[in-house]
Amino acid sequence: WVLPSVGRVSIYADEGSPMYPRLGPYFSDGRRRVDYVLTYHIQKPSSTGHRSSKVTETNFIRRLRRSLSMRGSKAPLQPKDDPEIVAQEQQGSYHEDDKRFRREEFEENLLDMGLEMEKDEQVGIIGFLKIHAPWNILCREAEFMKLKMPTKKVFHLSGSLNLEKIRLFIHKVTGPLHPKVDDNQPQHIKSLSHPFSREKQHLTRCTKAKYSMGKVYIFNIRHKLLGLYLKLQCSFLTGITSLLANGVYAAAYPLHDLLYEQWASYSVFYKYQPIGLIRKYFGEKVGLYFAWLGVYTQMLIPASIVGVIVFLYGCATVDDNIPSMEICDPRNNITMCPLCDHACSYWKLMTACGTARASHLFDNPATVFFSVFMALWAVLFMEHWKRRQMRLNYVWDLTGFGEEEEDHNRAEYEVRVMQKSTKKEHSLPQVQQTAVTTLYLRRPAHRWWVGRITATFAIVFGVILYRISIKTALHVSTYPAARSNVRATVKTTAAIIYLIIIIVLDEIYAAVARWLTTLEVPKTDKSFEERLIFKTFILKFVNAFTPIVYLAFFRGRLVGRPGKYLYVVGSYRMEECAHAGCLMELCIQLCITMLGKQLIQNNLFEIGIPKLKKLLQRKKSELDPKQQEELNKSLQAYEKDHILCPFIGINPEYMEMIIQFGMVTLFVASFPLAPLFALLNNIIEIRLDAKKFVMELRRPIAAKAKDIGIWYNLLRGLSKLAVIVNAFVIAFTSDFIPRLVYQYTYSPDGTMHGFINHSLSYFNVSDFEPGTDPVEPLNLGYKVEICRFKDFREPPWSSSPYDLAKVFWVVLAARLAFVIVFQNVVMLMSDFMDWLIPDIPKDISLQMHKEKILMVELFMKEEQGKRLSARDNHDHDYGNAPSANISPPQPRSRQANCY
């Protein structure tokens, strides 16, 4: 099978194929498409042998090809989606002779399966094995996999007349938002689909003639790649994953072909995504991710509008807020107790005017409404996605698909079971060999779980000590600017430190979660993926939300009182909230964390790091831009794809959005602008991910899936948790309940006048513990005898000084009652909406029923046609002419286009 052109080997099923050399994803005959590519390193011969006449590249091209081939064959340890990445879980090594023998054996097996191959070794450093699956092989695999194929029979997706008019009107109005892609058939028309059978191949819309002419993407691209990959995998010992792990092959990947202008370009950010083409190109698993991301982004639009309205309401009413006016009124002349021991002195409440006014923007009656709205929004989002997912399942012919069909035992699991079985055979009696498959190492995993979460709490505690110490240092500073901006400096710097720690620990926790999952040796690919996702989510969720939870529910509640403060690590006094509460600081932390993760971790890293790598690669290759352009034009399609990074899967993309969903829903009571920031980020994120998938990563194996898997359960859990969290934020973090109790219980005129004085307790400065009184007691210009602090306690002149007052227990009871009522009312409304909205759209259920009836009619007509044909042949054999009123059966047309 060696061709005269040296350096290129071709293995043909059809020896008469003409040769048409051509750049692109084709064999050298210019007809057969390259379905899959395997690359391998070529060992330099020890003696002078036959050299290709085509290897006449200049030195700079040769150097660049060498560097690019080395770059393309190495990949970081990442989630399992690319065969090259999978192989890194089971490292091994062979000698060069063994590698060559293994390759020859593997290629002979592929030949026996009916695949066609062509080798290209003209680069001189790395070889390419191009693989093509012929028509008969694809038909066999499609029948084995029970792939649903479109038949020639089509039907109209009819619904109610009014609904169709509304849809048509919406489609016309949103016409400019639809991408300009070629649809094979109108949206209101669908082909009947049926599991492929070679006996009924004439009923489908795909033909061998059109496939040979290159006019169809046989059985849809995703099915082709999936079937071919299953063939290459063969078994866990001789499959492509094992060969990649042992260095027999350097990389394995399909080729890129389309999808940029109407999807991956930033200029079309305002348009809908071509979900159908994405699914055909990448498979259902990736298609569902981008469909889910599109639905999530669309649903953020109404949430953003309502959030902005709530924020504007706070801005409009800030001047009418009586508690803020009382704090800012200099006539009240309220002297507050020191914020720290010894170094801090007394201060006027009026100095907290700016913080109080800013807190009203996020702590007002509209906040409660927005929390209820976002809880119902989360339910509507989940229900909308379920219906959208069911519609996609129907359109993509996945209604009868079971994911267990795609789940296979992991190669590492099979190897470990075999190794353990071998050890048991030599160490245990025959009767005890039933427990050889117990491969889970639970104790180390549990210890690591506790250790990682404890480390997160320890880091948060360290930042708390930083806040306490830096606050004291700024108060004793000799710079007036530092002393006047203590709160702003501490809040901002602490939030930035938290952000840096979160970004660093996210990368560490991803590796830890993968290591823990590998220790457990899950049996199947699905089990491995679900365990990895769950561990990664728990670690990253705790990492991102621990500082926010501390600010929301713990800071300012474990403080004590003047004269009897609570201390940690010796002399560090626990922090207390500002008079306006911790809600403003919670908002700052949430804002910096959310924006920082989106701008730095999600966008800057995804854009900046690939560009930096390309820049370093260009400098390393020592090429100027003209030489680089010349080289890019000379590279074949499979060489260009080899340079790209391996596909690391969509789990990191999901993880970003799930954490963002938590930021949007869990503490939205303190930050109503969170949906707006998420919306702006996601508009960029969609095109950024699209560009990365098309331009920077190798094309993945098309994986089938009927839903988003464990991610839906995580989303549903977060939406339930959001109701509880927001109830506690409103009740315990904000001043909404104390204000409500005062207005309807203690206010003499039913207004908020006097609330500030009501919420402050008295303290006699003579009751300070020794060494904790201010070092400068006269900094206000007069001697202070009584100072105020925020709490509900008895005054020093009462019979039980500084004990919790009756109003404290009244407010606490009101807080708990609000949590119970809020949670139950919102949960009831959510369950009612869940019950009211059906998971399956009515028109889809009717169309599914209609399709089943039409499919039965199609096969009944097919059988009737066969009987008529058989009778006509029988009459012809006996010399009987067909009846004049019976028309002969029409020949079956195979000219319909395949989608």
SS (H, E, C) 327-384: HHCHHHCCEECCCCCCCCCCEEHHHHHHHHHHHHCCCCHHHHHHHHHHHHHHHHHHHH
Lowest mean pLDDT among 83-92, 103-112, 429-438, 860-869: 429-438
With respect to residue 766, please indicate whether it lies within any of the assigned structural domains: no
For all residues of the chain together, what is the average pLDDT?
A: 75
Span 691-716, mean pLDDT?
87
| Top-confidence residue, 738 or 624 | 738
- What is the reported pLDDT for 68? 42
Lowest mean pLDDT among 694-708, 747-761, 790-804, 885-899: 885-899
- What is the reported pLDDT for 453? 65
Highest mean pLDDT among 21-35, 246-260, 467-481: 246-260
Highest mean pLDDT among 412-416, 617-621, 636-640: 636-640
With respect to residue 47, please indicate whether it lies within any of the assigned structural domains: no
Q: Say if residue 193 is in the same domain as residue 275.
A: no
Query: What's the rounded Cα separation, in Å, for the pair 288 and 279?
Result: 8
Q: Say if residue 212 is in the same domain as residue 271.
A: no
Per residue in 222-271, pLDDT tens?
Answer: 556 666 666 676 554 567 777 887 788 888 888 887 677 778 777 777 88
Span 572-585, mean pLDDT?
75
Query: What's the rounded Cα separation, in Å, for the pair 772 and 368?
Result: 40
Per residue in 354-363, pLDDT tens?
Answer: 888 888 888 8
Question: Which residues, 6 or more positions from 827, have their beta carbon under 8 angstroms from its beta carbon?
Answer: 720, 723
With respect to residue 133, please indicate whether it lies within any of the assigned structural domains: yes
* Residue 879: CB atoms within 10 Å: 6
Q: Say if residue 536 is in the same domain as residue 632.
A: yes
Write down the residue that tokens 């105020």 correspond to.
788
Q: Say if residue 140 is in the same domain as residue 229.
A: yes
Confidence grade of residue 23 (pLDDT, cut at 50, 70, 90): very low
Q: Say if residue 214 is in the same domain as residue 301.
A: no
Write down the residue that tokens 């315990």 correspond to.
732
- What is the reported pLDDT for 503? 85
Highest mean pLDDT among 88-92, 285-289, 601-605: 285-289
Query: What's the rounded Cα separation, in Å, for the pair 666 and 721?
Result: 7
With respect to residue 760, please indicate whether it lies within any of the assigned structural domains: no
Q: How many CA atoms lie within 13 A of 713 on its CB side?
A: 6
| CA-based torsion, 764, 766, 771, 776: positive or negative | positive
- What is the reported pLDDT for 771? 79
Q: Say if residue 249 is in the same domain as residue 286.
A: no
| Whether the predicted pLDDT of 454 surpasses 90 | no
Lowest mean pLDDT among 12-16, 223-227, 517-521, 826-830: 12-16
**Tokens standing for residue 309:** 């309205």
- What is the reported pLDDT for 443? 43
Confidence grade of residue 451 (pLDDT, cut at 50, 70, 90): low
Q: Say if residue 673 is in the same domain as residue 644.
A: yes
Query: What's the rounded Cα separation, in Å, for the pair 648 and 688?
Result: 15
With respect to residue 806, please indicate whether it lies within any of the assigned structural domains: no
**Tokens standing for residue 325:** 């006016």
| Whether the predicted pLDDT of 418 surpasses 90 | no
- What is the reported pLDDT for 4? 31
**Tokens standing for residue 518:** 């590998």
| Whether the predicted pLDDT of 818 surpasses 90 | yes
Structural domain total, the chain: 2
| Top-confidence residue, 225 or 718 | 718
Span 853-860, mean pLDDT?
76
Q: Could you tell me what percentage of the chain is helix, strand and coil, using 3-state DSSP and rounding each to the nearest 5?
A: 60, 10, 35
| Whether the predicted pLDDT of 76 surpasses 60 | no
| Top-confidence residue, 530 or 845 | 530
Confidence grade of residue 277 (pLDDT, cut at 50, 70, 90): confident
- What is the reported pLDDT for 717? 92
Q: Say if residue 681 is in the same domain as residue 830.
A: yes
Q: Which of 253, 282, 311 is the last residue of a domain?
A: 253
Please spell the DSSP secondary structure of 442-453, one letter per residue. HHHHHHHHHHHH
Per residue in 122-133, pLDDT tens?
Answer: 656 788 888 888
Contact of 549 with 498, CB cutoff 8 Å: no
With respect to residue 792, please indicate whether it lies within any of the assigned structural domains: no
**Over pLDDT 70: what percentage of the chain?**
71
Q: Which of 836, 866, 892 is the last residue of a domain?
A: 836
Confidence grade of residue 733 (pLDDT, cut at 50, 70, 90): confident
Query: What's the rounded Cα separation, in Å, for the pair 18 and 633?
Result: 25
- What is the reported pLDDT for 294? 92
Give the residue among 33, 25, 27, 38 at the shortest CA–CA distance from 253. Answer: 38
Question: Which residues, 6 or more positions from 880, have their beta carbon under 8 angstroms from its beta carbon?
Answer: none
| Whether the predicted pLDDT of 437 surpasses 70 | no
Confidence grade of residue 592 (pLDDT, cut at 50, 70, 90): confident
Span 303-324, mean pLDDT?
91
Lowest mean pLDDT among 712-721, 755-764, 776-785, 871-880: 871-880
Lowest mean pLDDT among 140-149, 277-286, 480-489, 791-800: 480-489
Give the residue among 251, 241, 254 at the shortest CA–CA distance from 80. Answer: 241
With respect to residue 870, please indicate whether it lies within any of the assigned structural domains: no
H or E, element range at 281: helix 275-282
| Top-confidence residue, 595 or 143 | 595
Q: Say if residue 233 is in the same domain as residue 375.
A: no
- What is the reported pLDDT for 585? 80
Give the residue among 818, 814, 810, 813 at the shortest CA–CA distance from 758. Answer: 810
**Tokens standing for residue 595:** 């924006």
Span 866-886, mean pLDDT?
58
Give the residue among 635, 653, 652 at the shortest CA–CA distance from 644. Answer: 635
| Whether the predicted pLDDT of 500 surpasses 90 | no
Q: Say if residue 208 is in the same domain as residue 321.
A: no
Span 639-658, mean pLDDT?
86
Q: Which of 253, 274, 299 is the last residue of a domain?
A: 253
| Whether the predicted pLDDT of 502 surpasses 80 | yes
Query: What's the rounded Cα separation, in Å, for the pair 297 and 686?
Result: 9
Q: Which residues pair with 2 in a beta bridge?
A: 9
Span 691-712, mean pLDDT?
86
3 state SS of 36: strand
Question: Which residues, 6 or more positions from 145, have their beta carbon under 8 angstroms from its beta carbon?
Answer: 223, 226, 227, 230, 405
Q: Say if residue 498 is in the same domain as residue 588.
A: yes
With respect to residue 800, please indicate whether it lies within any of the assigned structural domains: no
Instruction: Please give the residue range of the domain that contains residue 676.
Output: 266-737+820-836
Confidence grade of residue 441 (pLDDT, cut at 50, 70, 90): very low
- What is the reported pLDDT for 435? 43
Confidence grade of residue 764 (pLDDT, cut at 50, 70, 90): very high
Highest mean pLDDT among 470-474, 498-502, 813-817, 893-897: 813-817
Q: Say if residue 181 is in the same domain as residue 291.
A: no
**Over pLDDT 90: what percentage of the chain?**
13
Query: What's the rounded Cα separation, in Å, for the pair 397 and 140?
Result: 20
Angle between helices 525-549 and 710-728 (to 10 degrees): 20
- What is the reported pLDDT for 760? 92
